[in-house]
């Protein structure tokens, strides 16, 4: 019988999509957000609200908005007001207002034909649907920067003008825009900026103590009792603090540390597990390394990460890697580079600490070369996708 027993009680509580019931050190901001919308709970038809949330990565922007969404819809339903909270990550829709609106409309009316409408028409349809249902929407545009990058002032103009043209009719659409810093909207035209900037909530980076509280909350719901010593939480908080007060980093580090602990069949998560986990992701965190890679090296790498998605193997052969790369090239509609070129990329990549290569037997530059990843291929894949979508050619 295996001695193997996991330290985890419920890993999903460490997932990025999990929305905790309590947000330590963000209650003030949550209350402020509720304040901004309190008018809407009383006289929903009278006013559409606009709020900006700013803050660095991992300061809790997304989770704050989502927590708020859950609370406001609960409050609204107590009062029999139909408020829908819709959270959209603009980057997932490549910053396109049209794609975002298509998504929202089909969320409301799954049978609505998506194609053949302009953004304005979709918006008008959406408002009409809301009129019919006497419903209100609070739309959160997360990673708003990517919408601005692609569409400029226009998107905001469309989203807000629709309301203004309806003076005597109920206001249906409120906006929460989430972005890293105000810098990305600095170049928008004056009137668009002033439309947006009336209510700003800025999330400061967390202190070590605050991170400790956040981590302790997660430990209680994700791990079995007494499996995570105080020292471990302390070290995790310390590292997350030095990584810019990034709560996401801390939570992920804790999860990885738990994985290391399980792999070594330990009964609790020792600080050493945190250190091991940290060294394993450090390469990923240096995202600048990825961004600076040649375009085809990125595609090559993306192809390789997919091999490990489909199999539990420890390594992949160069042949497999080249096949996977060819498929990626097809997706990106580019012609694949030659074997020799790929071989060079592989050598470069093996100096970054992302992967290691091993040539069994005679050591020719052969296709029997084996590739081992030293970092999580899942994360690497996600990161590469982001970098490539940003147009990292």
Binding site for ligand ADP (CB under 6 A): 16, 20, 23-26, 55, 57-63, 214, 247-248, 251
CB of 33 to Mg ion, least distance (A): 15
CB of 225 to ligand ADP, least distance (A): 20
CB of 200 to ligand ADP, least distance (A): 15
Nearest residue to ligand ADP on Cβ basis? 60
Q: Which is nearer to ligand ADP, 232 or 337 (CB)?
A: 232
Alpha-carbon dihedral of residues 31, 38, 159, 173, nearest 10 degrees?
Answer: 130
Q: Which is nearer to Mg ion, 62 or 376 (CB)?
A: 62
Q: Which is nearer to ligand ADP, 26 or 296 (CB)?
A: 26
Options 54-62, 271-279, 361-369, 371-379: segment touching Mg ion (CB under 5 A): 54-62
Options 62-70, 124-132, 188-196, 269-277: segment touching Mg ion (CB under 5 A): 62-70
Q: Is 62 in the site for Mg ion (CB under 5 A)?
A: yes
Q: Which is nearer to ligand ADP, 70 or 393 (CB)?
A: 70
**Among ligand ADP, Mg ion, none, what binds residue 247 when CB lies within 5 to 8 Å by partner kind?**
ligand ADP
Closest of 238, 278, 235 to residue 259, by C-alpha: 278
DSSP-derived letter for residue 314 is S
**Among Mg ion, ligand ADP, none, what binds residue 229 when CB lies within 5 to 8 Å by partner kind?**
none
DSSP-derived letter for residue 113 is -
CB of 101 to ligand ADP, least distance (A): 22
Quick one: three-class SS letters along 132-188? HHCEEEEEEEECHHHHHHHHCHHHHHHHHHHHHCCCCCCCCEEEEEEECCHHHHCCC
CB–CB of 137/172 below 8 Å?
yes
CB of 252 to ligand ADP, least distance (A): 8
Q: Which is nearer to ligand ADP, 16 or 220 (CB)?
A: 16
Q: Which is nearer to ligand ADP, 25 or 158 (CB)?
A: 25
> Based on the number of CB atoms within 10 Å of its own CB, is 54 exposed (0-12), middle (13-18) or buried (19 or more)?
buried
Measured CA to CA, the distance from residue 275 to residue 335 in angstroms comes to 41
CB of 70 to ligand ADP, least distance (A): 13
Q: Which is nearer to Mg ion, 7 or 284 (CB)?
A: 284
**Among ligand ADP, Mg ion, none, what binds residue 179 when CB lies within 5 to 8 Å by partner kind?**
none
CB of 16 to Mg ion, least distance (A): 9
Residues whose CB falls within 8 Å of the CB of residue 17, separated by 6 or more in sequence, listed in order: none
Angle at 152 between CA 146 and CA 156, to 5 degrees: 90
Q: Which is nearer to ligand ADP, 196 or 247 (CB)?
A: 247
Hey, how many other C-beta atoms are within 10 angstroms of the C-beta on 43? 11
Hey, how many other C-beta atoms are within 10 angstroms of the C-beta on 75? 16
Q: How far is CA 297 from the centre of its chain?
A: 24
CB of 22 to ligand ADP, least distance (A): 7
Closest of 356, 379, 377 to residue 304, by C-alpha: 377
Measured CA to CA, the distance from residue 21 to residue 24 in angstroms comes to 10
Backbone angle region of 333, left / alpha / beta, with phi > 0 → left and psi within -120 to 50 → alpha: left
Binding residues for Mg ion, how many (CB under 5 A)?
1
Binding residues (CB under 5 A) for Mg ion: these are 62
């Amino acid at each position: 019988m295996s001695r193997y027993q996991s330290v985890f009680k419920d890993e999903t509580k460490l997932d990025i999509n999990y929305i905790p019931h309590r947000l330590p050190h963000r209650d003030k901001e949550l209350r402020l957000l509720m304040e901004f919308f309190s008018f809407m709970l009383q006289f929903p038809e009278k006013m559409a609200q606009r709020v900006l949330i700013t803050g660095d990565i991992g300061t809790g922007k997304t989770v704050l908005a989502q927590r708020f969404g859950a609370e406001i819809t609960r409050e609204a339903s107590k009062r029999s007001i139909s408020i829908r909270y819709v959270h959209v990550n603009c980057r997932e829709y490549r910053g396109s207002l049209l794609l975002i609106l298509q998504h929202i409309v089909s969320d409301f009316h799954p049978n609505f034909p998506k194609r053949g409408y302009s953004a304005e028409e979709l918006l008008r349809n959406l408002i009409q649907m809301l009129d019919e249902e006497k419903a209100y929407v609070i739309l959160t545009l997360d990673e708003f920067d990517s919408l601005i990058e692609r569409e400029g002032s226009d998107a905001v103009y469309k989203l807000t003008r629709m309301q203004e043209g309806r003076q005597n009719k109920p206001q249906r659409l409120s906006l929460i825009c989430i972005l890293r810093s105000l810098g990305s909207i600095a170049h928008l035209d004056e009137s668009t900026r002033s439309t947006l900037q009336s209510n700003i909530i800025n999330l400061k980076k967390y202190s070590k103590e605050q991170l400790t509280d956040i981590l302790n909350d997660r430990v209680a719901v994700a791990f079995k009792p007494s499996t995570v010593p105080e020292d471990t939480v302390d070290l995790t908080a310390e590292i997350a603090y030095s990584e810019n007060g990034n709560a996401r980093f801390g939570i992920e580090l804790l999860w990885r540390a738990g994985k290391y602990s399980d792999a070594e069949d330990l009964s609790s998560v020792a600080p050493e597990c945190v250190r091991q986990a940290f060294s394993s992701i450090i390469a990923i965190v240096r995202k600048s390394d990825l961004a600076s890679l040649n375009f085809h090296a990125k595609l090559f790498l993306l192809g390789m990460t997919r091999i490990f998605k489909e199999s539990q193997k420890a390594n992949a052969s160069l042949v497999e890697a080249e096949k996977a790369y060819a498929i990626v090239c097809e997706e990106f509609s580019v012609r694949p580079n030659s074997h020799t070129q790929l071989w060079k990329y592989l050598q470069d990549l093996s100096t970054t600490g992302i992967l290691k290569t091993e040539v069994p037997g005679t050591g020719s530059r052969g296709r029997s070369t084996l590739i081992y990843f030293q970092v999580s291929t899942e994360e690497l894949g996600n990161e590469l996708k982001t970098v490539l979508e940003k147009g990292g050619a």
